[in-house]
Amino acid sequence: MENVHLAMEEDDLYSGYNDYNPTFDSEELENDVDFQQAVRTSHGRRPPMTAKFPGTAIGSRALGTSFGSRVPLVSSMGRPMTGAVQDGAARPMTAVRAAGYTSSMVRGPAFDPLGQSKGPAPPLEAKNEDTPEEKIKILEKKVNDLIEESCMAHSIGALQLALEKGKEAGRKERALVRQREQSGNAEHISLDLTYSVLLNLANQYANNEMYPEALNSYQVIVKNKMFSNAGRLKVNMANIYVKQKNYPKAIKFYRMALDQISNAHKEMRIKIMQNIGVVFVRMGQYSDAITSFEHIMSESPNIKTGFNLILCYFAIGDRERMKKAFQKLISVPLGIDDEDKYIPTNDDTSSNMVIEAIKNDKLHQMERDLKVLAEKYIMTAAKLIAPAIETSFVTGFDWCVEMVKSSQYVELANDLEINKAITYLRQKDFNQAVETLKTFEKKDSRVKSAAATNLSFLYFLEKDYDQADRYADLAMNADRYNPAALINKGNTVFVKQDHEKAAEFFKEALRNDSSCTEALYNLGLTYKRLNRLEEALDCFLKLHAILRNSAQVMYQLANLYELLEDTQQAIEWLMQVISVTPTDPQALAKLGELHSGEGDKSQAFQYYYESFRYFPSNIDVIEWLGAYYIETQFCEKAIQYFERATLIQPTQVKWQLMVASCYRRSGNYQKALETYKDIHCKFPENVECLRFLVRLCTDMGLKEVQEYATRLKKVEKMKEIREQRVKSGREGSTRGRREGREGSAGSADMEVKAVSQSEPKQLSPLLDSGRDSGHSSNSTKGERLSAKMRSLPGSNEPYEASSPKEIDASYVDPLGPHMERPKTGAKRRVEDDDFADEELGDDLLPE
């Protein structure tokens, strides 16, 4: 009861509530001298001091509160009340201790939860890099970095840099091994690092085609028994021997690698056996190759091996085994999910988002590529074996189609039917090809569009433009996004002289397939026909960026620059044409013409002579060379060119007259007389020849002069009579037309209109550069040659005055039709037209 106290009115009911033992106050440990001394020494082993009363600090340590020096109050249990003042010090208020505050203004340090008052942390001790262990670690890290840099350089195509990094890594690794041996740590040499360095170096040697060095590096690894699984590298060595065409040694190393690889690595063994089979094929040992491929097809069948097996059977001519191999090929499982998996089937937003995400991911792209590859191999195999497995290719194709229809590649059956039609075309059986293609008119849209496109092309080649237009429309209706159908439609519109509409079809084809070079080429030709030269130039410049080595595109650019009167640019583009096709006589002749127009006769002569050397039948080149030699006073050399012109055009008297004139100019009058006599025998009514004969006989004092003079008079008289008749006929027709106009002007107009409509139109091909671009220059070229012939050094003989008139010949642009052939999808060109039509072939089938 002595501890029981009565509560007085002035007593604090909560006195002593926050009393606690200050020994557990961790915040004051830093300032507690006794505690710090006890930590450092054995001071803490002394017996503790007793407190004045329970719940207060030891000794005379003061406890302060915010209540100053209030008189302490105790509870009925004897413990101090909260906020009580004991010995002049207030007890702490611990109710807010969790917030990090203290009730004392003097106790402990200020509130610093981040420890900022302590200052920065002391610096870390620097590593001593002079120790052998640190040097070894640094050197090992450098070796790893060099290997990584070598691999990265190879990934970006810097093969030489990759090799240099690999060599440097090898040097550093050897230095590392020596350093470990010197420091007595030889047992800690990293075999993995040595293996990585040697393997990377060998690979880089092989990538740089330094095969002996690569083989030596691989040999070092293979012979070291400390490297596990090094026998696999014999596959790499065998690959090098294949590149060196050392096939027996490659077979040996492949088999050695096969022996060292366990059956647990089944996929690796299959790949090695496939390599062995391919090498046997290259050696021509088809029986051994068949053994390898058959084993693979029985263990783990795949598309490539099945195709190679068919090739081997085809090489040895085994029909039955070809059929069996084809059946195995179309039954190879691809392991590809159905395409329906990627089609949204419900309204579930989350599942649709997942399907949209995986629709074009890399895995799906890989599946599509695998399927395209399989279809390619099956189509190629069917086209290969169809003519060989049966007595006729038709029966063989039918068998292949039946097999494909019963397999997972049902959609390929229609493509095989189209290939059968193409085979008919290759055998010149156009009727059967057309009949086969017409059977697709009621099939699905894709196949129908392909067949109609081919039919449109065939009819266009046969100049049946109505049928070509009909099937082009059919192809477009079946598949509006088929660029081949749009091109064929544009071509049929073009021949009807509707160039603007043709350009629209070509543009639409380009919108559907921006890589369609045929559409771009034809669009450029169409703009050229419309005289929109800048737009045509833009088209061909874009096409040149795609087809860098196309002589046709470069020639069109040269021709456009010529039309734009930029001769230097035209010459530069023609020089690029010559760099691609150095033996093209028409391009050489065009270069000669441009240089001649610029006044550079020597350069023009060089190109004209080269053109004549490659194609000695171009009459324009022959004429220019003959005129050049006459102009340079080398008449003897001009004779051979005019004699060749005589052989090419034996009915043209002007070439024979030029031969005789050259003989006369060179002083060989006897030969000139004989030539004129031969000409007179062939062309007895030629006035020029008779005049030459009269003059020569007179100068040479021959007796035939009177005879030739008489003949000359007769011929001239007949010529005058003929001219009078022609003149009177013209006057009569003029008088009749005048009377008709006076009688009925309206009826005459209608008659003229009807005649003009009934006249047949001559449809020109698509922008023949030689004719189109040279039309304005043709007459000027002829005029230049005529003027040149008139300005040749002459004599005072009167009979030479009219001879240049016979020499004048109209000029035709030297670029012939073969340079104007537009770009097509296939290799063959259209012989009669200059359209870039879609060729029949695999490239016409939709993707």
Helices (H), 530-634: 533-546, 551-563, 567-580, 585-597, 601-614, 619-631
Rg (CA), the chain: 51
Q: Is the same domain home to 532 and 655?
A: no
φ and ψ at residue 46, rounded to 5 degrees:
-70, 155
Do residues 140 and 278 share a domain? yes
Q: At what angle do helices 653-665 and 619-631 cross, to 10 degrees?
A: 20
CA dihedral 472, 473, 476, 477 (to 10 degrees): -150
Residue 388 burial (CB count, 10 A)? 14
Upper half-sphere CA count for residue 151 (Cβ side, 13 Å) = 9
Does residue 788 belong to any structural domain of this protein?
A: no
CATH number at residue 722: 1.25.40.10
CA-wise closest residue to 463 among 489, 502, 495? 495
- Is 708 part of any domain? yes
Residue range(s) defining the domain that contains residue 449: 440-548
Q: Identify whether residues 267 and 139 lie together within a single domain.
A: yes
Task: Please tell me whether residues 139 and 257 are part of one structural domain.
Answer: yes
Residue 277, phi then psi, degrees to nearest 5: -60, -40
Could you say which of 548, 579, 609 is where a domain stops?
Answer: 548
pLDDT, position 227: 82
Q: What was the pLDDT predicted at 105?
A: 52
Domain assignment present for residue 736? The answer is no
pTM beyond 0.85: the answer is no
Query: Would residue 161 count as lying in a domain?
Result: yes
Whether 621 maps to a domain, the answer reads: no
- Residue 614: is it exposed, middle or buried by C-beta count within 10 angstroms (0-12/13-18/19+)? middle
Q: Same structural domain for residues 538 and 676?
A: no
Domain boundary among 548, 574, 605: 548
Residues 667 and 538 in one domain: no
Q: Are residues 663 and 537 in the same domain?
A: no
Do 539 and 657 have their domain in common? Answer: no
Q: Read out DSSP for 699-716?
A: HHT-TTHHHHHHHHHHHH
d(CA 592, CA 582): 14
Q: What is the mean pLDDT of each run of 10 residues along the chain (847 residues)?
A: 48 61 67 74 55 44 42 48 52 54 55 67 64 82 92 92 92 86 74 89 92 91 83 90 93 91 88 94 92 92 92 91 91 77 72 78 85 90 88 84 85 80 78 78 72 86 88 86 92 92 93 91 94 93 92 94 92 93 92 91 92 92 91 88 90 89 88 88 86 86 84 87 82 60 39 32 34 40 44 36 32 33 34 35 32
Compute how many other C-beta atoms are within 10 angstroms of the C-beta atom of residue 262.
Answer: 9
Helix axes 430-438, 445-461, angle to 10 degrees: 150
Q: Is residue 626 part of a domain?
A: no
E strand spans, 290-395: none
Cα–Cα distance for residue pair 665/583, rounded to 1 Å: 35
Q: In total, how many domains does the chain have? A: 3
How would you label 190-201 residue by residue, b for 16+ Cβ within 10 Å and e otherwise?
Answer: beebbbbbbbbb
Domain's final residue, options 258, 283, 308: 283
| Residue among 275, 283, 209, 208 nearest 239 (CA) | 275
Is position 829 within any domain? no
- Please check whether residues 165 and 278 belong to one and the same domain: yes
CA 391 – CA 365 distance, rounded (Å): 41
Q: Where are the beta strands (DSSP E) in 643-729?
A: none
**791 within some domain:** no
For residues 526 and 652, membership in a common domain is answered with: no
Please provide the DSSP assignment of 737-784 as one string.
HHHHHHH-HHHHHHHHHHHHHHSPP----TT-HHHHTTHHHHHHHHHH
Residue 829: Cβ within 10 Å count: 18
pLDDT value at position 391? Answer: 82
DSSP string covering 279-313, please?
Answer: HHHHHT-HHHHHHHHHHHHHHS--HHHHHHHHHHH
Which residue in the block uniquely carries the two structure tokens 């740089």?
208
